[in-house]
Amino acid sequence: MVRKNCNPLSGNAFTFFQQALNNPALLPLASLTRTNLPFILLGQVAEKIAKIPNREERQNIAGCTEILAGLKFEKDVIRQFLREDIMQESVIYQDILQKGKKKEAVKWITSFLNYRFGDVNSSLIAEIQVLSLPKLEAMRNVLFNFATLADLEVWLKQQ
């Protein structure tokens, strides 16, 4: 039996997918297109991303595609098609990574302060939470020098 239509997409989905393959800005959305053969679709998206000549654009589109494809595919499947090193260099990936590092730094610092000084005032915690990651890293290096919460308050005012 010969299949007349081997295309995994049909109708509007096919039209959108064809448009997305020809427009790099739509490639991340193409990975979410409904299809009977999702792995073929993801492979086609990955091939188009790999052909984007501008490295920065390729990295950013790969990062966006990875994020959106994560709504539909397991991470191992995504990594089969999209090179991890390209995704890691994307500004979106780096932003997510920085936010995670900042969250962990705030968590560690507040845990340390609560252990050392008891319950720390919520206004001090709020001041710590708005510090940039480099400031949080600097704070972590001087935390052991604080004898009292007043020392912390002085340090925060200097920042």
pLDDT at residue number 4: 42
pLDDT at residue number 35: 75
Please state, rounded to an integer, the average pLDDT across all residues of the chain. 82
pLDDT at residue number 132: 93
Residues in the chain predicted with pLDDT less than 50, given as ranges, are 1-7, 9
Cβ atoms 135, 159 nearer than 8 A: yes
Cβ atoms 110, 120 nearer than 8 A: yes
pLDDT at residue number 6: 46
pLDDT at residue number 90: 66
Based on the number of CB atoms within 10 Å of its own CB, is 151 exposed (0-12), middle (13-18) or buried (19 or more)?
middle
